[in-house]
Structure 1
């Protein structure tokens, strides 16, 4: 099968999921012929994506979340008004996506939570089947546990989630753990998509906390805490394009630009991960048996849901602020869930192939053991 990826470019989660699925599909004899990725002025697509996706990459302008300054979370009114004013520009991007897909002649489109996916199906009716993959589709599962008093937020996020998947053939909900489904022909719960490099890591106990944040404005909280506890070693990752590759704040606090290889190496050796409740980062930590403190971005309902679900799944604890004293107090009572999580994760390759090949002409047997590490082919634009 010839397959095109549509990928939301905000954060690293959807990007690494696309890389992982691309490896699975390539090893099964399919071809990813293009990856169409949404970008925005305040975001840069990490270099590792183009290096590892194994297909030509096509960038297009897409809506993104706008944050308040000084780490005060999402600015929802500004996000909505900014993107309403940019609708003509986004419509132009959608037409560009259509032309690119036509030129690539795929048998299937796989959408990683890109908002243009549903709009593309509705407006262009190309007849190309689409499978949608994201953790956010799990929030449409009737058995999912939501934060209390969240009915309005639930309706808002589920409308956005539904819009990404209008007229799709099947949704695949990435989940920390197995969950029941009502209609497996339309909606499946599947294991996370993790980079194969994670499986090659040897976890060990280091002397530092690892911090990953989805937006550099949140770094103020980390710096403030560190000034009160300078003896605790902190290694942080951010996406601050106004700073250099590495920024050192005193002896025990350093910020790195997002770098996939460096991040995974440091994750394997940390005492615990502190993260802004992104699904992918929590999954990688669970695979390696690392405790997690999840700090949802203020006013970011999806991350509030991720944090609650992560706690239920045994990943660690949730907190409302970057008070790292909380995770240090938690560490002695953490129970390692890596064996159970790995058992669920290892079912993934077969589940993804079977779900996707329903809409193509795949003839591969999926009962073989997964290969240890094969590098995908790399193409350049």
Structure 2
């Protein structure tokens, strides 16, 4: 039985849910997940759903994370300034990763876009192959439609992606649809990683809009729109650390603490999804034939937003003005059938890439 160790970037829920899905696929194919090491800010705990579903020992370590301004937008300058004094902690994290690799003796390391994973692979040169997984690696693909504006941001995102994949055998690029592999760039296009729970959901369409916020500061925009349109029912999941499991603001606005199973249940029954252009959430919505409105808060998500519109999954907005979604809904055409077929083809692809790496 081959042993696999996961390194997971813990910012948001996307990479965490990808790791859960991958653990399920590998376990079904006879692999053992020996541990999942999750990087992130110390003050932001790993969500409970990850502990519940990964079915492997979980270790947290300090890792660089994005810093947001008061409007919920990423502030790259503040991000750099914030992390400069913490470099000594990141050095300790690299040692922690190395100790875990020695202790668990994996046959393969799968890195879900964790920057310290790439730096560890480059500095420590472990005798274990590393494969990197992430939608961001698709940005290296010559056919991917990146936004024309934001050249500096484009460079920074790709530079960060390179750091996560230092010394990796392959970069497995998650994509909404099939694009050709580009082996010369070590880029291999694969279908998205969806949790097994998604496949068994009963789809319905009720009248509420589902919202996912990866930063609490964005809630103000939701509340502003809600007060003007109280007739529209909203269920909002947010990542506030001290949030109640469920908080009913009024008759048509309910807040929920981040909960993977509950989120999927609400997604299966919603009219549409509103989110910050995170790849994983859009994929789940596409699979369930739910139109989306995406509001990118940094360049990486702007790329996701452009791709979301390219494949017909939904519409992009500059802020959480849900009127943009309401105007879009009558013209939306379902894309779920083609997307589900692409996902069904994925398991053999994934296993073939892992077997070749080991």
Decide: shared fold, TM above 0.5: yes
RMSD of aligned Cα (Å): 1.1
Contact 1:38–1:114 under 8 Å retained in 2: yes
SS, match of residue 128 in structure 2:
coil
Contact 2:138–2:187 under 8 Å retained in 1: no
Structure 1: distance between partners of 2:113 and 2:149:
26
Structure 2: distance between partners of 1:240 and 1:88:
27
Residue 6 (structure 1) aligns with:
7
Residue 370 (structure 1) aligns with:
none
* 1:242 CA displacement: 2.9
SS, match of residue 123 in structure 2:
helix
SS, match of residue 157 in structure 1:
helix
Q: Count how many residue pairs are aligned between Structure 1 and Structure 2.
A: 357
Structure 1: distance between partners of 2:184 and 2:176:
18
TM-score (norm. length: structure 2): 0.98
Relative contact order, higher structure (CA 8 A, sep 6+): 1
* 1:359 CA displacement: 2.4
Range moving further from structure 2, 141-150 or 217-226: 141-150
Residue 75 (structure 1) aligns with:
75
Map 1:140-289 onto structure 2 (within 5 A): 140-183=140-183, 186-289=186-289
Residue 356 (structure 2) aligns with:
358
Residue 67 (structure 2) aligns with:
66
Q: Please list every run of 5 or more consecutive structure 1 residues that lacks an aligned counterpart in the other structure.
A: 361-381
Residue 131 (structure 2) aligns with:
131
Residue 313 (structure 2) aligns with:
315
* 1:41 CA displacement: 3.3
Residue 369 (structure 1) aligns with:
none
Contact 1:66–1:78 under 8 Å retained in 2: yes
Q: Please list every run of 5 or more consecutive structure 2 residues that lacks an aligned counterpart in the other structure.
A: none
More helix by percentage: 2
* 1:150 CA displacement: 2.5
Residue 329 (structure 1) aligns with:
327
Structure 2: distance between partners of 1:246 and 1:67:
25
* 1:72 CA displacement: 4.0
Structure 2: distance between partners of 1:216 and 1:51:
24
- Encode CA deviations 1:299-339: one digit per residue, 9 max, x unaligned: x1001000000110111100101111111111111000000
* 1:185 CA displacement: 8.8
Structure 2: distance between partners of 1:173 and 1:182:
10
Contact 1:214–1:276 under 8 Å retained in 2: yes
Residue 339 (structure 2) aligns with:
341
Contact 2:237–2:258 under 8 Å retained in 1: yes
C-alpha change, 1:184 and 1:337, in structure 2 (3 Å) is: farther
Structure 1: distance between partners of 2:49 and 2:255:
18
- Encode CA deviations 1:10-46: one digit per residue, 9 max, x unaligned: 1111011111111111111111111011131342211
Structure 2: distance between partners of 1:102 and 1:282:
37
Structure 1: distance between partners of 2:232 and 2:327:
13
